[in-house]
Amino acid sequence: MRKNIALMALILVCIFSMATVANAAVFSSKYIQEVLADTTVDSQGTVNVAFKIVGTTIMDVIGVKTIIVQEQAPGSSQWTAVATYNAANYSNMLRNDSSAHTSSISYSGAKSGYSYRAKVYFYAEKGGYDTVEYIAY
Amino acid sequence: MAKVEESGRSNSEYSRFDKYDTAVLEAILQADFDAPEAEQMEMEQALYISNLIAERKGTKPKDVATAKAEFFEHYYPLVGEEDTLYEFDDDKIRNNAVKDSEANVSVWLKNWRRFASAAAVFVLLMFSGTVTAYALGFNPIAAIGRWNEEHFWFDDTSVTSELSDKLAEYGYPENNVPKCLPAGYILKSLDEGKNGDSFKSVIATFVKQTDDGIDTLIISYTINLGNDNKPLYEKDTENVVQYVLNDKVYYIMTNLDNRVIAWKNGNFEGTIIGNFTIEEAEKIIKSIDGE
C-alpha cells in the first residue's frame, strides 16, 4: 500500500513539473513581448484590422504572417472565414530589422447586421522564431 | 551668439575711440572687464580699443630672437623664484619683471586668469557630477550637437527627450516617460502609428553596445481610442512585483532574459522592456514620476 502511495506521489510530482514546463513554454517568449489587434467596421462596409507587435529586441523579421477575417450571421454562433491575408502577398504585414511593427489591413464587403472578427497570427524571427495567435473583435 | 570678426581696427563705427587718450581707453577696458557680463561692451568694440592701444604702444609682431630675449629678461627669472608665469599674486609680478607702464595689463590679465580658473573649476565640477551619475549606472543627460549655418554648439538633453516630444505631440503628459535609463543607452529609432479609430502607438528603441554585442531597451506606449481589445504581454512564471509610486501602480515582471515594467494611466498603457535588474527597474520608475 505504501509503495502504491509513494508511486502515486511520484507520478503527481512528475505531472506537475511537466505542467510547469509546458506553461513556461506557452506563456513566455524569447522573441515576442507584446501583441495587440483590433477589428472595426466603418459605415462604408469596410472591416479594418489594426495590429501592433513589440519584440524582445531588434528582430530580423517582425509583424503578422496571416490574418483571417471571419463573419458571424445574425443569430448564428458560427464564425465563417471570408478573407485571408498572407504576408507573402501584403508587404505591409512584416518588417525587417526592427523591434516593433504596427500596421493594418482592410476588407471591403462587410454585410449589414453581421459581426466581424479577425484571427491574427503574430510572428517574430531572430535565429529562431515564435508565433502568437490573437482573436480581435 | 556673438560672432568675433577681425574687422575691429577698420570699423568706422568705433572710430570715435581714436580721439581718446590711451589712459582713458585702458580705463574703459578695465571698467568693461569689471562690469557684469550683461553690461559689457560688444566684443568687436573691445577688440577695436585693444588694437588701438596696441598700435599706440607700438606693440607689433616681433621676430623670434627679440621675443626670446624678452622672455629670458621678463619671465624666466620667475622660474628661479619658484613663481610661475601664471602666478595670480600680482604683488610678486609687479616686484619682479613687470614694469609700471605694464601694470594695467597685468591687472587685466589677472582678472582674466581668475575668470579662467573659476571657469575651469566650474567645468571640473560639471564633469565630476556627470562622472558620478555615470558611476551610479544611469545617464541623466546626454550632449547633443546642434548647428545652424553659422554655428555649432552642444545642448544637454535627456536621452528620452525626443520620446517626450513625440508624446507631447499626441497631447500626453511627460510623466509617462522615464528621464533616466541605465547608462550607455542611446535612441536608435522612434516609431509611431495610428490605426484608424482603434489605437495609437509610440515605440522607442534604445541600444547599448556591450562586449557581447548590443543590448536593447524598448519603451512602448499604446493609446487606446476606444477598442475593447487589450495588449497582451508575454511573461514567464516568475512572480509579478507591484511597485506603487505617487498612487500609480507599476508591475514588474520577467519574460525569460528580459524584465518588463508595465503601467496604465487612463487610456494610456506603457511598457519598458530590457535586460535590466530589479534595482534598475525601480530607478527607471522613479524617474518616470520625476524623482
| Residue pLDDT, tens place only, B125-146 | 444 444 444 444 555 556 667 7
Q: Is A99 close to B193, i.e. CB distance below 8 A?
A: no
A77 and A116 in a single domain? The answer is: yes
CB A79 within 8 A of CB A56: no
A109 and A125 in a single domain? The answer is: yes
A104 and A44 in a single domain? The answer is: yes
Comparing CA positions, the residue from B248, B287, B238, B239 lying closest to residue B269 is B248
pLDDT range class, residue B255, cuts 50, 70, 90? very high
B residues 169-208 near A, CB within 8 Å? 188-189, 191, 193, 195-199, 201, 203, 205, 207
Q: Is B237 close to A28, i.e. CB distance below 8 A?
A: yes
C-alpha A1/C-alpha A19 separation (Å) is 27
Min distance A10 CA to chain B CA atoms (Å): 23
DSSP codes, B221-260: EEEESS-S---EE---SSPPEEEEETTEEEEEEEETTEEE
Min distance A13 CA to chain B CA atoms (Å): 18
Top pLDDT among B233 and B75 is at B233
A69 and A100 in a single domain? The answer is: yes
Q: Is A51 close to B258, i.e. CB distance below 8 A?
A: no
- Highest-pLDDT range among A26-30, B55-59, B80-84, B250-254: B250-254
The per-residue pLDDT for range B40-95, each reduced to its tens digit, is 788 778 888 888 887 887 665 566 677 667 666 665 555 545 444 444 444 444 44
pLDDT range class, residue A88, cuts 50, 70, 90? very high
Please, what is the angle between helix B103-135 and helix B22-34, to 10°? 20
Min distance B232 CA to chain A CA atoms (Å): 5
C-alpha B15/C-alpha B257 separation (Å) is 73
Average pLDDT, integer, range B151-171: 81
The per-residue pLDDT for range B81-94, each reduced to its tens digit, is 544 444 444 444 44
pLDDT of B42: 80
pLDDT of B79: 52
Domain span including residue A87 = 31-136
pLDDT of B232: 92
Domains in chain A: how many in total? Answer: 2
Flag whether the ipTM exceeds 0.90: no
- Residue A53 scores a pLDDT above 60: yes
Average pLDDT, integer, range A91-104: 96
Share of chain B above pLDDT 70, in %: 65
Among partner residues A29, A38, A134, which is closest to B199 by beta-carbon distance?
A38
Q: How far apart, in Å, are the Cα atoms of A124 and each of A87, A101, B28, B273? A: 13, 10, 72, 16
Top pLDDT among A115 and B56 is at A115
Share of chain A above pLDDT 90, in %: 79
Q: Provide the 8-state DSSP code for B58.
A: T
pLDDT range class, residue B214, cuts 50, 70, 90? very high
Mean pLDDT of chain B: 75
Interchain contact B236–A (C-beta under 8 A) = yes
Comparing CA positions, the residue from B171, B201, B77 lying closest to residue A99 is B201
A24 and A36 in a single domain? The answer is: no
Q: Is B195 close to A134, i.e. CB distance below 8 A?
A: no
DSSP codes, B116-180: HHHHHHHHHHHHHHHHHHHHTTEE--EEEEEE-SS-EEEEEE-TTHHHHHHHHHTT--GGGS-S-
A119 and A61 in a single domain? The answer is: yes
- With CA atoms as reference, the chain A residue closest to B271 would be A34
A72 and A42 in a single domain? The answer is: yes
A7 and A46 in a single domain? The answer is: no
Interchain contact B209–A (C-beta under 8 A) = no
Top pLDDT among A6 and B94 is at A6
A22 and A67 in a single domain? The answer is: no
Interchain contact B218–A (C-beta under 8 A) = yes
Q: How far is CA B226 from the centre of its chain?
A: 42
Comparing CA positions, the residue from A31, A67, A107, A135 lying closest to residue B256 is A31
Q: Exposed, middle or buried, A99 (CB in 10 Å: 0-12/13-18/19+)?
A: buried
Would you list the domain boundaries of chain B?
Answer: 12-127, 159-288
- Residue A56 scores a pLDDT above 90: yes
Among partner residues A38, A99, A134, which is closest to B205 by beta-carbon distance?
A99
C-alpha B84/C-alpha B157 separation (Å) is 40
pLDDT range class, residue B170, cuts 50, 70, 90? confident
pLDDT range class, residue B258, cuts 50, 70, 90? very high
Q: Provide the 8-state DSSP code for B75.
A: I
- Residue B4 scores a pLDDT above 50: no
- Residue B101 scores a pLDDT above 90: no
A12 and A44 in a single domain? The answer is: no
C-alpha B175/C-alpha B164 separation (Å) is 9
Top pLDDT among A11 and B93 is at A11
Q: How many CB pairs under 8 A join A and B?
A: 120
What 3-state DSSP class applies to B2?
Answer: coil
Cα end-to-end distance, chain A, whole Å: 54
Q: Is B237 close to A20, i.e. CB distance below 8 A?
A: yes
Comparing CA positions, the residue from B223, B227, B219, B222 lying closest to residue B284 is B219
Where does residue A132 fall: left (phi above 0), alpha (psi -120 to 50 degrees), or beta otherwise? beta
A102 and A45 in a single domain? The answer is: yes
Please tell me whether the overall predicted TM-score, pTM, comes out greater than 0.90 for this model: no
Tell me the chain B residues in contact with residue A23 when contact means C-beta distances shorter than 8 Å: 237
Contacts of B289 (CB under 8 A, 6+ apart): B175, B245, B246, B248
- Residue B124 scores a pLDDT above 70: no
A130 and A103 in a single domain? The answer is: yes
- Residue B6 scores a pLDDT above 70: no
Q: Provide the 8-state DSSP code for B74.
A: I
C-alpha B106/C-alpha B94 separation (Å) is 8
Average pLDDT, integer, range B151-180: 81
Among B229, B253, B275, the residue to mutate for chain A (most A Cβ within 10 A):
B229
